Amino acid sequence: MRIPGWMAAAALATLAAVTASGTTFVVPEDEEMVDKATAIVIGTVEGSYVQERDYIETVYELRVERALKGAVRPDELLRIVSIGGALDHRGTIAPGSAHFVNGERVLLFLTFESQRWQVTDLILGKFRFSQTPLGEHVLLRDEVEISGWDRDGTVHRERVRREDGFLRFIEQRVRGRGAMPAYFLAPEPALPQKEKDPFSAVIANAPFRAYTYTDNVQDNDSPAYLPSRWSNIAAGVQFYKTSSQNISGAADGGVSVIQNGLAAWNNECGSVINLIYAGQRATGSTGFDDISVVEFNDPQNRIAGSWGGAGTVATTFISYNDQHNFDSMVWWSIGDADVVFQNGYTAANASFATAMTHEIGHGIGWRHSNAHYIRNADFTDAPCNAGVEECSSSAIMNSSAISSLGFTLQTWDINASQATYPGGSCGGGCTPPAITAQPTSRTITAGQSTTLTVTATGTSLSYQWYQGTAPNTGSPAGTGPSLTVAPSATTSYWVRVSNACGTVNSTTATVTVTAPPPATATRFFTVTPCRLVDTRNGGPVPGEVSFTVTGRCGIPSTAKALSLNITAVSPPASGFMTVYPAGTARPGTSTLSYHANKTRANNAIILLTSNGQLTVFNFNGVGATHVILDVNGYFQ
């Protein structure tokens, strides 16, 4: 059985800000996870189904094998709800929520809230059983998703836990016995914290197409993954604050941070992003009501558990129910994006501003800057692939928020904005380039030329064409908005459009080259009957032989077709002959059928190729046959 095709997973699945250096997030200690979970179980996912409550959500059926904590019996079937899924061409993306593939055996930290089982702290509460190359049994959490910072300010690297030691630690902790986390496979090298890119005049240079910057979501009855964006963000997308929920520690309840988070994306001058703070209203987070809200304190328990100084900060629930065309592709139309902050999380956390900007970024379509645009089968982040997409670990959209960035977009964030919502102007008289019509693929005949054209908007554009596939710049092919080419074989081309404030690559257009077709004739001219071919003067036709027939018997080189009499002379066995223009596919019908040892003739009108050749194909299964071609007229 297949998991519903769509995805989820990935938001600020994480963490708190605490260290004195102002850096950023802390991955919770294992004992905190043990203490906050309602139940901890080992089990196997036996099935799943998609349902709609407030959002579309997926229910996973987990057969419990062993319970380490909580009132859960072995062999019990637990239904675990994770927001996210697709139904009838509508769907919800729930970045950060834990999802599963059927048959997956997992260790789960679970929280029971609102009469529902959910994974504690979304993706943080899920561990997979695995084995090292040396055969050691271990438990793994998704590594890309929860990269963050440890309490001492070093970069967190997900540690590998020995299965037996970790399970024993959990049981001892649950029984209230002092237990040391002595089950890590190897000491983790602490990496120095990465320097942030200074934010100076960033020249946008989106080297990849728009869809690679967004979360690509599979429809529930289609194998295709579609990227996601607002279909007309320039017209304004409104965000409200749920009026009953104020974040603790902010005099205005969080309003100004919402406004600044929206402004961070609006202020990206090379795009047309237009997010509007529309004030407070009673509406809470819910999918498909076409009302996007920021909701503090997770009053509806969208995120299992609560903030305890570490864990999940916020998640965005993105709903789509329509499609539109952009950049020569079909896209999901986002219709509703709700940002929900975990209960217990306060404005005093240093990550608040970055988290807000990051979650709103998910709400307008972005993937994580350090993850692939299509997720793993269980919807966790897959590693970013610099060969096909832009990758950065220093961006607002990095999977673990970098507190020091606040409301300041980085290069990846700017490129994503300009590629996906192009058309803005950056002052100084410079508008970044945007392609409005891509060069199109076409088919030509060998010897012909064709002109490829790109249409783009922007200030003082320059155009550089390349032979090959974008973004390969190995073979420059010309400049200007159009390129005339006459390849002798099928060849691909693309163009890079740039100016002082940006660069954009076109799609790749393929010029397919075919053999010249036979020409068409218009008038008929008779000639005195004349013998064009008589193989009795040479060798009989074994299988297939071509003859040049123009320039003889009064047939001009401009002849397009001949009126012929074809004769098979004393063939060795019964068979047939087919006469057709040289170099074209042999027709399935014969021109002349014959019997063994009987000379037979037939009339035919046969097209010629531009070089005046025709081909005789002979078949009788035994041997070569002499052929005579007599001409009595031609077309031209």
Residue ranges that bind Zn ion, judged by CB under 5 A: 11
Bond prior to 133 in cis (omega within 30° of 0): no
Nearer to Zn ion, 415 or 467 (CB): 415
**Taking Cα atoms as reference points, which of 326, 270, 202, 330 lies closest to residue 504?**
270
Is 632:565 a contact under the CB 8 Å cutoff?
A: yes
Nearest residue to Zn ion by CB is 11
**Minimum gap (Å) between residue 358 Cβ and Zn ion:** 6
In this complex, which beta carbon is closest to Zn ion, that of residue 11 or of residue 17? Answer: 11
- Which is nearer to Zn ion, 339 or 568 (by Cβ)? 339
> Is 97 or 266 the residue whose CB approaches Zn ion more closely?
97
- Contact (CB, 8 A) for 408 and 128: no
Please report how close the Cβ of residue 48 comes to Zn ion at its closest, in angstroms. 23
CA distance 618 to 612: 20
Residue among 627, 576, 635 nearest 606 (CA)? 635
| Torsion sign (Cα): 486, 491, 492, 497 | negative
Q: Which is nearer to Zn ion, 13 or 509 (CB)?
A: 13
Question: What is the separation of C-alpha 564 from the centre of its chain, rounded to a whole number of angstroms?
Answer: 58
**Dihedrals phi, psi of 164, to nearest 5 degrees:** -65, -40
* Pick 280 or 400: Cβ nearer Zn ion: 400
DSSP annotation of 283 reads -
Rounded CA gap, 269 and 278, in Å?
21
Instruction: Determine the Cα–Cα distance for residues 131 and 135; give it in Å rounded to an integer.
Output: 6
Q: Specify the residue, 11 or 483, whose C-beta has the smaller distance to Zn ion.
A: 11
DSSP at 519? P
Q: Is the dihedral of CA 254, 260, 263, 265 positive or negative?
A: negative
Nearer residue to Zn ion within complex by CB, 271 or 398: 398
Shortest approach of Zn ion to residue 390 CB, angstroms?
16
DSSP string of 94-160, one letter each residue: -TT-----TT-EEEEEEEEETTEEEETTGGGGEEEEEE-TT--EEEE--TTTT-EE-TTSSEE-PPP
CB of 131 to Zn ion, least distance (A): 30
CA–CA gap between residue 581 and residue 567 (Å, rounded): 18
**DSSP 3-state of 526:** strand
Nearer to Zn ion, 11 or 16 (CB): 11
CB of 7 to Zn ion, least distance (A): 13
In angstroms, the CA 292 to CA 442 distance is: 43
Q: How far is the CB of 355 from Zn ion (least distance, A)?
A: 9
What is the nearest approach in angstroms of Zn ion to the Cβ of residue 336? 18
CA distances from 466 to 74, 91, 450, 494 (A): 63, 39, 15, 5
Structural contact between residues 579 and 615, judged by C-beta atoms closer than 8 angstroms: yes
In the complex, least distance from residue 4 CB atom to Zn ion, rounded to whole angstroms: 21
**Residue number, 11 or 291, with CB nearest to Zn ion:** 11
Residues 589 and 606: beta-carbon distance below 8 Å = no
Question: Whole-number minimum distance, CB 364 to Zn ion, in Å?
Answer: 12
Calpha distance 14→122 (Å, rounded):
9
CB of 11 to Zn ion, least distance (A): 4
Q: Report the alpha-carbon distance of residue 31 to residue 52 in Å, rounded.
A: 34
Helix or strand holding residue 237 (H, E): strand 237-242
Residue whose CB is less far from Zn ion, 68 or 310: 310
Query: Could you identify the residue written with the tokens 């929520």?
Result: 97
What three-state secondary structure class fits 489? coil
The least distance separating Zn ion from the CB of residue 95, rounded to whole angstroms, comes to: 5
Taking the complex as a whole, the smallest distance from the CB of residue 226 to Zn ion amounts, in Å, to 20
Nearer to Zn ion (CB atom), residue 94 or residue 138 = 94
Q: Of the two residues 11 and 504, which places its CB atom closer to Zn ion in the complex? A: 11
407, 245, 282, 92 alpha-carbon torsion, rounded to 10° = 60
Smallest distance from Zn ion to CB 205, Å: 24
